[in-house]
Amino acid sequence: MSAVRRSQTAATKSPLPSPRLIFLNRVYWPSTAATAQLLTDLAEGLAANGWTIHVIATGDGPACHNGVSIHRTGGSDQHGGLLSRAVNYGRYRRQAQRQLAALVQPGDVVVAMTDPPMLGAAVTALAARRGAKIIHWIQDIYPEILAAHLGAFATLPLWPLRRRRDTAWHAAHRCVTLGEDMGRMLESRGVPPDRVALVPNWAPHELQTPASAEAVAARRAAWGLSGKFVVAYSGNLGRVHEFAAVLAAAGQLKPRRDIVFLFIGGGARSDEVRATAQSRGLDNVRLLPPESRADLAAALGAADIQLVTLRPGFARLVYPSKLAGVLAAGRPVLFVGPTEGEIARLLAQEKCGAAFGPADGTGLAATIVTWHNDQALCLQLGRRARAIYERRFTFATALARWNEILRRTADGS
């Protein structure tokens, strides 16, 4: 009998069963989407700590994996066009509500993520009616993200969605955010500060040990970049990310044949970045496909500098989780985005990088040249980056914090 089945059997016989945890997110193992990997890490870590874990996610895969019971809703975890995405989101919400209604029991703790958007708002009332406690694990904040994307069309009537979302936040026992700025956003919407918890997303466990010098050299050689100074952006090139200053800096440094800009990943804006680089003749810009988790340490370590970017209008709505990975790699960080925001403050406080506004390609280029010319400084910044990872962004730190939040929620404190 599996550990999960034994736990469930014991819970059935006990007059005071331990609370079960039910996570809802559109994607889960074996999906390699970012939230799928985060949820898989956390669910399996909590299961190893003795919690009884259930996950409701799309697909038709196995019903149990590494101690976690998985309730599949069918459908696909793949993104398509806007219409296809909307249909998939709606189907998952409906199926997830049905699965939750059949599964949830009084005393359970339900943790709703934000894929698809407004998922927490869709299940909070149901969980409350069944006597369960609800936690919102907020990876991004909708509908404000939609309003930021709409720009000039942001006057469209999104207030009913905000009101529904706010009602769900207010009803939650906890709201877990990724950063301080996101937390302040929740408080501005009326969520009591004592019900807002901060748990940054962690770097993948494959980055717990930095890649060896040999692995890094081999990766650089495979890319044909031996002897080059590599400035890399690794991860999703999404709609909330900012690339104008990076491409402007690449244009200014085009004569420097020893400096290369590398984009590793895909996403909604990857074609735009590729087209812009080609139209400007930026042969010092290269785009590569995403790396697997197994190869991530070597890929991140193969860069001399790592880039993190965020469009200013999204400062309180998302938190670039790639920051944890680049800090783990022990490389200096160049941040392009709101210079008054949380990431800029962190880099300044920890002295492990620098921040630039989205129009400051000149300042970005100058700093790249400075760090290129001062390898000792570059190494020092990288060591500080690794130190802040070890203090704040490891999975062990996040797991301990989640255990605390869940215990307090289950106990009603």
Distance between CA atoms of 86 and 91, rounded to whole angstroms? 9
For residue 192, whether the previous peptide bond is cis, meaning omega lies within 30 degrees of 0, is: no
What pLDDT score was predicted for residue 15? 36
Rounded to whole angstroms, the Cα distance separating 115 from 25 reads: 6
**Other beta carbons within 10 Å of 35:** 21
Determine contact, residues 127/104, Cβ cutoff 8 Å. yes
Domains annotated on the chain, with CATH: 3-202+394-411 (3.40.50.2000), 205-392 (3.40.50.2000)
**pLDDT, position 17:** 45
- Cβ-in-10-Å burial (0-12, 13-18, 19+) of 339 comes to middle
* Full strand arrangement of the beta sheet holding 353-356: 285-288, 259-264, 229-234, 305-309, 333-336, 353-356
Predicted confidence at residue 276, as pLDDT, reads 98
Q: How far apart are CA 385 and CA 371, in angstroms?
A: 15
Residues of the chain with pLDDT under 70: 1-18, 77-82, 150-156
The reported pLDDT for the residue numbered 136 is 98
